[in-house]
C-alpha cells in the first residue's frame, strides 16, 4: 500500500500502477519533465477513436468538429448517433454501452473521446500502449472520462461489463464515478495496468491571451504540457449543476477516496457505500 505523502515526494507523482494479484503492486513515479518526454514519444499504431452524440442536440454539430479533427490527423474513428434518453445523466450513461459495443467490434484497442472535444495534436501516447487503461485521474480519485484508452485485454472486458451494469442500475450517478467504481471492483480481483494521464493533455476553455502566454513562457521550457485535446465542456452550457438526486465525483466519501489514493483494495465498495 502506498502512503499518500509519498505520491508527491521529489515533485513526482504516480503516473502508472500495476495491480498484480500474484505479487506486490508496482508504481511508476515521474516528474513533469519525464511525463512530457513520455507524451511526446512517437509510436506507430493508433487505437480506434470512438465517440457518440445524441441526436437533435448541440452535440451533433460538436461531433462533426471532432470527426473533422480526427480526419485531419488520419486517425481511425467510429462515431455513433443515438437518440436521447431524456436527461443529461441518462444520456451520459449511454457512454459505457457505446464504448463496450465499439470495443467488441474493434480488432484493436480503442480510445474514447467526448463529442464536445477536438484533437489538436496527435496523441501518440495511446499508440501501441502496453497499458490496459489510460485515463486522467485527478487527486488520486477524480477520473475525467472525456478521454479513455482501453486495450483489448480480458480484464478490460471485465471492467467494461461492470461499468455498463452499474450505469444501467444507477441512472442518477454520473458515469465517470461509476467508471471509477468499476475500475476499483475489477482491480480487487484481477491484475490490471493503469496509466494515469496528466490533465495537462486537455485544453479547457480559456482566453487566447492565456494560450499565448503558455506558448511563449511555459511550453518551450517544459513548465506545462502542451495540450493534445481541446475540451469544450459543452455540458457546462447545457447543465450547470447536478440535480438534487444525482451523485457526482464530488459526493464520493472519504473512505472511498482514501482507498483509491492508497491503492487499498480491501474496501467493500458499492454504489451506496462510496457516497454514504
Of 88, 145, 142, 162, nearest to 251 by C-alpha is: 142
Examine the pLDDT at 3 and tell me if it is beyond 60: no
pLDDT tens string 198-210? 999 999 999 999 9
Please, what sign has the CA dihedral across residues 46, 77, 52, 228?
Answer: positive
pLDDT band at 186 (very low <50, low <70, confident <90, very high): very high
Taking the alpha carbons at both ends of the chain, their separation in whole angstroms is 24
Examine the pLDDT at 240 and tell me if it is beyond 60: no
pLDDT tens string 94-135? 899 999 999 999 999 999 999 999 999 999 999 999 999 999
Pair type for strands 133-138 and 110-113: unpaired
Percent above pLDDT 90 for the chain: 83
Average pLDDT over residues 221-247: 78
| pLDDT of amino acid 171 | 86
Examine the pLDDT at 244 and tell me if it is beyond 70: no
Which cell is 248 given? 457526482
pLDDT tens string 13-41? 999 999 999 999 999 999 999 999 999 99
| pLDDT of amino acid 77 | 98
Average pLDDT over residues 172-196: 96
pLDDT band at 7 (very low <50, low <70, confident <90, very high): very low
CATH 3.90.550 fits 18-151+191-241, yes or no: yes
Percent above pLDDT 70 for the chain: 89
| pLDDT of amino acid 242 | 57
Residues in CB range of 156: below 8 A, 6 or more apart: 103, 132, 133, 150
Residues in CB range of 214: below 8 A, 6 or more apart: 224, 226
Give this prediction's pTM. 0.92
| pLDDT of amino acid 156 | 98
Examine the pLDDT at 143 and tell me if it is beyond 60: yes
Examine the pLDDT at 236 and tell me if it is beyond 70: no
Amino acid at each position: 500500500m502506498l502512503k499518500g505523502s509519498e505520491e508527491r515526494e521529489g515533485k513526482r507523482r504516480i503516473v502508472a500502477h500495476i495491480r498484480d494479484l500474484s505479487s506486490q503492486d508496482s508504481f511508476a513515479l515521474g516528474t513533469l519533465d519525464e511525463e512530457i518526454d513520455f507524451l511526446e514519444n512517437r509510436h506507430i499504431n493508433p487505437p480506434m477513436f470512438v465517440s457518440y452524440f445524441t441526436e437533435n442536440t448541440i452535440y451533433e454539430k460538436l461531433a462533426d468538429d471532432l470527426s473533422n479533427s480526427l480526419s485531419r490527423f488520419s486517425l481511425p474513428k467510429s462515431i455513433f448517433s443515438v437518440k436521447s434518453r431524456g436527461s443529461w445523466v441518462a444520456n451520459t450513461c449511454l457512454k459505457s454501452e457505446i464504448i463496450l459495443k465499439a470495443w467488441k467490434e474493434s480488432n484493436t484497442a480503442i480510445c474514447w473521446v467526448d463529442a464536445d472535444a477536438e484533437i489538436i495534436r496527435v496523441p501518440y501516447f495511446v499508440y501501441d500502449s502496453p497499458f490496459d487503461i489510460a485515463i486522467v485521474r485527478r487527486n488520486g480519485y477524480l477520473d475525467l472520462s472525456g478521454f479513455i484508452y482501453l486495450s483489448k485485454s480480458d480484464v478490460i472486458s471485465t471492467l467494461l461489463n461492470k461499468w455498463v451494469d452499474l450505469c444501467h442500475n444507477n441512472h442518477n450517478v454520473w458515469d465517470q464515478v461509476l467508471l471509477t467504481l468499476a475500475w476499483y471492483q475489477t482491480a480487487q480481483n484481477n491484475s490490471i495496468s493503469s496509466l494515469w494521464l496528466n490533465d495537462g493533455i486537455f485544453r479547457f476553455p480559456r482566453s487566447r491571451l492565456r494560450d499565448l502566454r503558455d506558448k511563449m513562457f511555459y511550453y518551450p521550457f517544459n513548465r506545462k504540457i502542451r495540450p493534445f485535446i481541446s475540451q469544450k465542456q459543452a455540458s457546462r452550457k447545457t447543465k450547470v449543476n447536478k440535480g438534487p438526486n444525482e451523485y457526482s465525483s464530488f459526493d464520493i466519501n472519504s473512505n472511498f477516496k482514501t482507498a483509491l489514493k492508497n491503492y487499498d483494495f480491501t474496501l467493500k465498495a458499492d454504489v451506496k457505500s462510496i457516497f454514504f
